[in-house]
Amino acid sequence: MFGVVVVGIGIAGSVRIRDLLNPLPSSPSESLKLQGFVSRRDLGECHGVRQISLQEALQSNEIDAALICTDNQNHEQSVRSFLEAGKHVLVEYPMALSEQTAQELWQLAEQKGKVLHVEHIELLTEEFKQLKKEVDGKELVEGVLHFTGGPVDEQKFGFPSFSGIARLTWLVDLFGHLTVTSARKEENEKEKSSKLTAHFTTAENRPLSWIEERAPGLKREKKVRFTFKSGILETLPPAPRAAVGPFMQDQNLFAQKLLGQVPKEMLAAEKRRILHCLDLAEKIKHYCQH
C-alpha cells in the first residue's frame, strides 16, 4: 500500500480525490490509499477527506506519494519539496515552466530513487486514440492543429506554449520530433484574448502549425486539418465513450510505476517526449519574445 496526498484542490485535484476514493476493483489503483489533502486555502474537508498541513504531508511516514494538482506556476516548488522529502510524485502537466527545471526535477527524482510521473491525459482520451489510429501509417504533406478555449491567467498557468503543452504533445506523438521555425503571439489585454501561432517542420521537413486561441466565450475545442498523400483529414474521427476516464487511466499508470511494473524503455521514451515538448514550448516562447 502507498499512502498518498492530493495537493491543490481545483478541478483536477477534486477529480483525483474522487478517483482515489473509487479505485476500479483489481486495478493497480487499489494499492493507493488517500491519507488527506493539502490546500493553500482553509477547506477543512473535501469528499469526506481531511485537510492536512503541507508540513504534515512532507513529514508523515504514512505518506509515500504526492499528487500535485496546483496551478502550473506552483509545480516546480511542490514537486521539489516532495521529492526532497523522499516522496514519489505525480504532477499534472506541464511538469514545469522551463525545460531546465524539468531536467533538474528528473535528476532529483533519480538521486532520491523516487518515481516522478507526469500526467498526460490528452494521450489517454478516446478522441486521441481514434485520431492516432487514423493518422498511423499515413504520409503527411502539411497540417494544422487549432485549439480554442476560455482565457487563462498567464501569471498562474505560464506562457501559452506551456499551458497548451497538451496540443504540442499531440503533434509530437502523432508526427515525431519537431523543429520550431517561427512563432508569434497576438494579445488584447483589455479583451483578455490571446492567439499563439507556432510553425514547425517534421523530421521529413513537412510543415506543421499550431494555433492556441483563447478569449472569453470561446468554446473548448480542437480542430485539425491534416493533409496526407492519401487524402485530407478535416474532422476528428468519432470516438466511443471511454469505459475508464482519462484521469483514472493515468492514476493506474502511476500506481503501476510505484509497483515497478512499467518497463524502463517505456519510462525513458516518456521522459524523452516530455522534455522534447518542453524544449519546443521554450523555443516558441523565445520566438514570441524576441
Ligand X SMILES: NC(=O)C1=CN([C@@H]2O[C@H](COP(=O)(O)OP(=O)(O)OC[C@H]3O[C@@H](n4cnc5c(N)ncnc54)[C@H](OP(=O)(O)O)[C@@H]3O)[C@@H](O)[C@H]2O)C=CC1
- Measured CA to CA, the distance from residue 46 to residue 82 in angstroms comes to 22
| Category of 62 on φ-ψ map: left (φ > 0), alpha (ψ -120 to 50) or beta | alpha
From the list ligand X, ligand BLA, none, pick the one residue 29 interacts with, judged by a Cβ distance below 5 to 8 Å according to partner type: none
Instruction: Report the nearest approach of ligand BLA to the CB of residue 246 (Å).
Output: 5
Answer for the pair 154, 160: CB distance below 8 angstroms, yes or no.
yes
Chain residues that interact with ligand X, rule: CB under 6 A:
8-13, 39-41, 69-72, 92-93, 121
- Measured CA to CA, the distance from residue 85 to residue 274 in angstroms comes to 24
Instruction: Report the nearest approach of ligand BLA to the CB of residue 18 (Å).
Output: 11
Answer for the pair 141, 229: CB distance below 8 angstroms, yes or no.
yes
Contact between 122 and ligand BLA (CB under 6 A)? yes
Contact between 166 and ligand BLA (CB under 6 A)? yes
From the list ligand X, ligand BLA, none, pick the one residue 246 interacts with, judged by a Cβ distance below 5 to 8 Å according to partner type: ligand BLA
Radius of gyration of the chain measured on its C-alpha atoms: 19
Helix axes 264-289, 99-112, angle to 10 degrees: 150
Helices (H) and strands (E) in the chain, counts: 10, 13
Instruction: Report the nearest approach of ligand BLA to the CB of residue 19 (Å).
Output: 12
Instruction: Report the nearest approach of ligand X to the CB of residue 72 (Å).
Output: 5
From the list ligand X, ligand BLA, none, pick the one residue 67 interacts with, judged by a Cβ distance below 5 to 8 Å according to partner type: none
Would you say 11 or 243 has its CB closer to ligand X? 11
The residue at minimum Cβ distance from ligand X is 10
Answer for the pair 155, 149: CB distance below 8 angstroms, yes or no.
no
Q: Segment contacting ligand BLA (CB under 6 A): 33-41, 62-70, 106-114, 121-129? A: 121-129
Within a 13 Å sphere around the CA of 213, how many CA atoms are in the beta-carbon half?
13
C-alpha cell at 67: 499528487
- Measured CA to CA, the distance from residue 213 to residue 49 in angstroms comes to 37
CA torsion through residues 207, 225, 120, 136, sign: negative
CA torsion through residues 210, 95, 276, 158, sign: positive
Choosing from 41, 190, 220, 290, the residue that interacts with ligand BLA (CB under 6 A) is 220
Contact between 246 and ligand BLA (CB under 6 A)? yes
From the list ligand X, ligand BLA, none, pick the one residue 264 interacts with, judged by a Cβ distance below 5 to 8 Å according to partner type: none
Would you say 67 or 288 has its CB closer to ligand X? 67
From the list ligand X, ligand BLA, none, pick the one residue 125 interacts with, judged by a Cβ distance below 5 to 8 Å according to partner type: ligand BLA
Would you say 57 or 124 has its CB closer to ligand BLA? 124
Instruction: Report the nearest approach of ligand BLA to the CB of residue 213 (Å).
Output: 12
Instruction: Specify which residues 188 forms β-bridges with.
Output: 193
From the list ligand BLA, ligand X, none, pick the one residue 116 interacts with, judged by a Cβ distance below 5 to 8 Å according to partner type: none
Instruction: Report the nearest approach of ligand BLA to the CB of residue 94 (Å).
Output: 9
- Measured CA to CA, the distance from residue 112 to residue 11 in angstroms comes to 30
Instruction: Report the nearest approach of ligand X to the CB of residue 200 (Å).
Output: 22
Report how many residues bind ligand BLA under the rule CB under 6 A. 8
